[in-house]
Chain A
């Protein structure tokens, strides 16, 4: 079964709206979670690394004031797309480390469409 849960799976909203996406680790604690973005027919690109109890580390070119990341507990990281515009429409997917010697597991992703 799924070890990383992402919610919502799909969001459609008007331009200017802020959208919050949740990434939860199920039955395990994740000190580190990752947020990726995938544009249509493109590969996945890391946006930021989310660390529990500290500030996220953003990749070059990703606006930290635009994409707010909060990792307030060991099982939850949130990504908020502030004042979203059509160019922010994308597939956002998170991942988390599940345990010793296991690779990252990904959530099912959130498809964000800004009208």
Chain B
């Protein structure tokens, strides 16, 4: 069945780059997403990428997609304390289809 896997924790020093990795199983996924959730808050869509793309960059965020390996990564450059949150990798077959989420990676920023 559909599954999205990601590591649960990541610690990064302030100013360094953070790289959060994710793998998914459904090869028919068309949309791949990264969401951010701060404590007690809802979900913020950070970025998304279509399955026919290899890379997408948006300011400090870079998404890389290896469709062959079903591997998605999110790189946050110059990580700041405000980046501390849980990051969810997710996928859907289409934009009007249900979204399958990973368990989330808790990003901890070290001073």
Contact = CB atoms under 8 A, between A and B. Distances in A.
Contacts of A45: 101
A42 interface: yes
Interface residues of A, number: 24
* Majority secondary structure of chain A interface residues (helix, strand, loop or mixed): strand
A103 B101 contact: no
Q: How large, as a class, is the contact surface on chain B?
A: 20 to 34
A107 B99 CA distance: 15
B102 A106 contact: no
B13 interface: no
Interface of B: 31, 33, 35, 40-45, 48, 88, 92, 95-96, 98-99, 101-104
Interface of A: 6, 32, 34, 36, 42-46, 49, 59, 93, 95, 97, 101-109, 111
